[in-house]
Amino acid sequence: MGRGYTVTTARRALNPTGGFLRGFTFTLNPYIGCAFGAAGGCPFCYVRTLPVAQAAAGPWGSWVVAKVNLPEVLERELRALAGNGRLRTATIFMSSATDPYQGCERTLRLSRRALELFARFPPRRVLLQTRSPLIERDLDLLKAMGEHVRVSLTIETDDESVRRALTPTSPAIARRFATIARLRQAGVPSQIAVAPMLPHDPERFARLLAAATDRVIVDTYFDGDGAHGRRSRALGMAELYGRLGYGDWFAPGMETRLLAALRTRMGAERVLFSAAGFAAV
Ligand code: SF4
């Protein structure tokens, strides 16, 4: 790819949702593919099994295709939604099949330009799902969007050795906690998504999460992969956990201790679970 991405033009920016994200009106994916999936990163990412993962040649994570006309298409769609009165009830999940703040966003700024449009045409709520501190670059727009946005920052574990083993291309855990602190300090509605929950120390992780945010969503392979864990099994997660010495963790119900520790510290209404938790925008 040379510069790290290729480009395409999109017919649509906002896509009607279904399945896991049925609580949202639309999804928005500025990119196809995700560089966080490179070099064995996010081995649990089931997007690699979807038709969208065939958009370019090579394994998931090795390519990214940028929808370069996204701002124009999105503006047209937001104007139409504003015109027919549907914008104020629209909820948008950004992004469902990519990370909107992966490396190439630094120069391409497609996610930033989408936020500029949302600041002008505010839907009811945009849920910005990312694992990237690059989102701090757009604090000005996030603040301007007020209650029309919520940032959902992925932090799947408190254990750097687990992060290095399972998500080696993802930013360090401490760096992501610094991002959530900056968002909170700026007054941007935010939450931490422990999704998918990776091996961790329940008490220590709960303490860190409760100190960092007002809202946590926990999700697991067995509740969040849309197939009671079968998709995650098909991706080889059980074998991978076994090889890494985390075998006991690949089982339903392992979230119980973390949820209990979080609810004790934060109150049950601030600790949400799986699809219903994400949809509670
Ligand atoms: S950041 Fe999200 S979309 Fe990207 S590879 Fe990881 S799990 Fe998949």
pLDDT tens figures, 86-125: 999 999 999 999 999 999 999 999 999 999 999 999 999 9
**Per-residue model confidence (pLDDT) at position 279:** 85
Whether the CB of 131 sits within 6 Å of ligand 1: yes
Domain that holds residue 258: 6-279
CB of 34 closer than 6 angstroms to any ligand 1 atom: yes
CB of 37 shorter than 6 A to ligand 1 = yes
Report which ligand 1 atom has the smallest distance to the Cα of 60. 5
Sheet with 65-67, strands from edge to edge, namely 6-8, 65-67, 31-32
CB of 99 closer than 6 angstroms to any ligand 1 atom: yes
What's the gap in Å between 176 CA and the centre of ligand 1?
15
Ligand 1 atom closest to the CA of 98, numbered from 1: 3
- Three-state secondary structure along the chain? CCCCCEEECCCCCEEECCHHHCCCCEEECCEECCHHHHHHCCCCCHHHHCHHHHCCCCCCCCCCEEECCHHHHHHHHHHHHHHCCCHHHCEEEECCCCCCCCCCHHHHCHHHHHHHHHHHCCCCEEEEEECCHHHHHHHHHHHHHHHHEEEEEECCCCCHHHHHHHCCCCCCHHHHHHHHHHHHHCCCCEEEEECCCCCCCHHHHHHHHHHHCCCEEECCHHHHCCCCCHHHHHCCHHHHHHHHCCHHHCCCCCCHHHHHHHHHHHCHHHEEEHHHHHHCC
Residue 16 C-beta-side C-alpha neighbours within 13 Å: 2
pLDDT surpassing 80 at residue 226: no
pLDDT band at 1 (very low <50, low <70, confident <90, very high): very low
Backbone angles phi, psi at 224, to 5 degrees: -110, -5
Task: Tell me the C-alpha distance between 113 and 37, whole Å.
Answer: 24
Residue 95 falls within a domain, yes or no? yes
In a domain, 1, yes or no: no
Banded pLDDT at 222 (limits 50, 70, 90) = very high
- Give the position, in ligand 1's atom list, of the atom nearest the Cα of 61: 5
Domain assignment present for 163: yes
Question: What's the number of domains the chain is made of?
Answer: 1
Per residue in 54-92, pLDDT (tens digit) is 999 999 999 999 999 999 999 999 999 999 999 999 999
Cα–Cα dist 1/229, whole Å = 34
To the question of pTM greater than 0.85 for the whole model, the response is: yes
pLDDT 10s digits, 119-160:
999 999 999 999 999 999 999 999 999 999 999 999 999 999
Distance from Cα 42 to the centre of ligand 1, integer Å: 6
79 vs 20 pLDDT, higher one: 79
pLDDT at 129: 98
The beta-carbon contacts of 177-181 under 8 Å, at least 24 apart in sequence, are 177/208, 177/212, 178/133, 179/133, 179/135, 179/136, 179/153, 180/153, 180/155, 180/212, 180/213, 181/212
Q: Give the CATH number, domain containing residue 115.
A: 3.80.30.30
Neighbours of 139 (CB within 10 A): 16
Does some domain include residue 223? yes
| pLDDT band for position 198 (cuts 50, 70, 90) | very high
By DSSP bridging, strand 91-94 and strand 26-28 are parallel
